[in-house]
Amino acid sequence: MRFDRRLDRALSGFRPDLVGITAYTCDYNVAVSVLKEVKKFDPRVKTVVGGHHATVLPDDFARPFVDVIFLGAADDSFKEFVARSESGRPVEEVPNIAFVRDGSLRFTDRAPTTQNLDLLPFPDRRLTLEYRSRYRDRMNTKTGLVMTSRGCPYRCSFCACWKIMDGKYLSRSPESIVAEIAAMPEEVELICFADDNTLHSIRRAWRLIELVREKGIRKKFMMYARSDTIVNNPDLMEALKDIGLEYLLVGIESFKDAELSNLNKNLTSRTNLEAVRLLKKLGIRISPHLIVNPEFSKNDFRDLLRGVCELELFRPVFTVLTPLPGTELYEKNVDRLAIRDYDYFDFTHSVFSTKLPRKEFYFQYAKLYSQSYSFKRYFREKLRGLAALGRPSRRRAQRHPDRIPFMPLLIVHIASLRGYWKIRRRHKTEPCAPGRLRPSS
């Protein structure tokens, strides 16, 4: 439905027996409205929901238009539920689900979920053929997603991925991953590893590289990695670059050790710095993720921008520190929430009170983006590139491998200017609304 929102048309054309939906917290209100619409269309259609929010706060889905909630990884439970529903057997014995009965929930027994991810079938990509031409990244590259692992062995306080997996880290074998990549539609150019921590097992990564070479796979790759993994494995990074690693998403989070420690990131700013230097040297593009804390002062915003400029980071993503339900951050701060409407848990709003007045906070946030993606930086980089032309080729190649790309610059620049404008307009007409205190219906 991200590509095609005509729900009515889909329902009347397909006449489903069951409609399922998955949702992160910020999707909650949309998920609820879709499920409501399905029941309104035909009350006999079973409505089920799973995914992150349903797992950590199932009570939020105790609504008359929701039949079943799936908790945790539903690879087995969903299959069993469908089989039992089809054959008319009782579904109450399916583990890891909750039924909505008279406005409250009844939970079935908990059972272990699939531990061997290699046993899962590959996604049937024929089902999304109609929309495939629109699966593109920001640079308009045709993209395919592959899940190679679940969970993470680290324990960052703002991250839900290890909580939702009960602290476990599961990974697929390189053989299975490469078989799925080889079966991807021919036109896919960029493979995104849709994991939380792709490179945790170094041995697995080396075997993956070996197999990609053996099979003659020629694709670009994008994945997540921690700074310490990068710094401790320069040879691995070089080999990944050699097989086509184009972008690396790195959770830098902060340039300050105290903030990294508060987030339980288990990293130092020095390691982040070394990781950035190494990736630049290897010519791997970095998408650094950085956290904007609602407690930020103007100086903190300035320090963050200074770090971005000093490290010559050209694709920064700034996320506002958000206590996602299920995280330690949420558990410790649930009473401090200033906004409880889930629409705002989208990492671009602060659901906590901000230290700066709200208008000033958002103004600084928009400024952070517009200055990071500024035309001044773009042209300065262009000039440096031109200046490097006269130098020996080896040094030139190493100098600016991660130049600021023009199109994303233009898009982010326009978006941040729109952001400024909205902040000005909204704060002229309304004071800082505290938000609704319950999930909206």
* Chain centre distance of CA 253: 14
Smallest distance, ligand SF4 to C-beta of residue 164, A:
11
Interaction between residue 197 and ligand SF4 (CB under 6 A)? yes
Candidates 251, 323, 325, 419: give the one binding ligand SF4 (CB under 6 A).
Answer: 251
Candidates 48, 74, 98, 152: give the one binding ligand SF4 (CB under 6 A).
Answer: 152
CA angle (288, 266, 25) in 5-degree steps:
60
* Of 157-165, 238-246, 391-399, 408-416: span binding ligand SF4 (CB under 6 A): 157-165
Interaction between residue 328 and ligand SF4 (CB under 6 A)? no
375 is written with which tokens?
Answer: 């035309």
Candidates 19, 21, 68, 161: give the one binding ligand SF4 (CB under 6 A).
Answer: 161
Interaction between residue 162 and ligand SF4 (CB under 6 A)? yes
Identify which of residues 32 and 252 has a Cβ nearer to ligand SF4 in the complex.
252
Smallest distance, ligand SF4 to C-beta of residue 429, A:
38
> Tokens 């640079």 map to which residue?
139
Interaction between residue 237 and ligand SF4 (CB under 6 A)? no
Task: Give the gyration radius of the chain's Cα atoms.
Answer: 23
Identify which of residues 197 and 350 has a Cβ nearer to ligand SF4 in the complex.
197
> Tokens 């493979």 map to which residue?
191
Identify which of residues 204 and 226 has a Cβ nearer to ligand SF4 in the complex.
226
Identify which of residues 61 and 318 has a Cβ nearer to ligand SF4 in the complex.
318
Candidates 189, 196, 259, 341: give the one binding ligand SF4 (CB under 6 A).
Answer: 196
Pairing label, strands 104-107, 143-146: unpaired
369 is written with which tokens?
Answer: 């983006």
- Of 71, 35, 78, the C-alpha closest to 53 is 71
SS3 content of the chain, % helix, strand, coil (to 5): 50, 15, 40
Residue 325: Cβ-neighbour burial (10 angstroms; 0-12, 13-18, 19+): buried
Identify which of residues 241 and 289 has a Cβ nearer to ligand SF4 in the complex.
289
Candidates 54, 159, 290, 321: give the one binding ligand SF4 (CB under 6 A).
Answer: 159
Q: What is the signed CA dihedral for 423, 426, 430, 434, rounded to 10 degrees?
A: -60
State how far the Cα of 35 lies from the Cα of 329, in Å rounded to an integer: 29
CA distances from 278 to 212, 256, 283, 372, 381 (A): 23, 20, 9, 21, 19
* Of 32-40, 153-161, 214-222, 269-277: span binding ligand SF4 (CB under 6 A): 153-161
Identify which of residues 71 and 291 has a Cβ nearer to ligand SF4 in the complex.
291
Identify which of residues 39 and 226 has a Cβ nearer to ligand SF4 in the complex.
226
202: amino acid identity, one letter: I
Is residue 263 within 8 Å of residue 295, measured between CB atoms? no
Candidates 39, 53, 172, 226: give the one binding ligand SF4 (CB under 6 A).
Answer: 226
State how far the Cα of 232 lies from the Cα of 276, in Å rounded to an integer: 13
Smallest distance, ligand SF4 to C-beta of residue 347, A:
13
Candidates 156, 178, 279, 291: give the one binding ligand SF4 (CB under 6 A).
Answer: 156
Length of the chain: 441
Residues that bind ligand SF4 (CB under 6 A): 152, 154, 156, 159, 161-162, 196-197, 226, 251
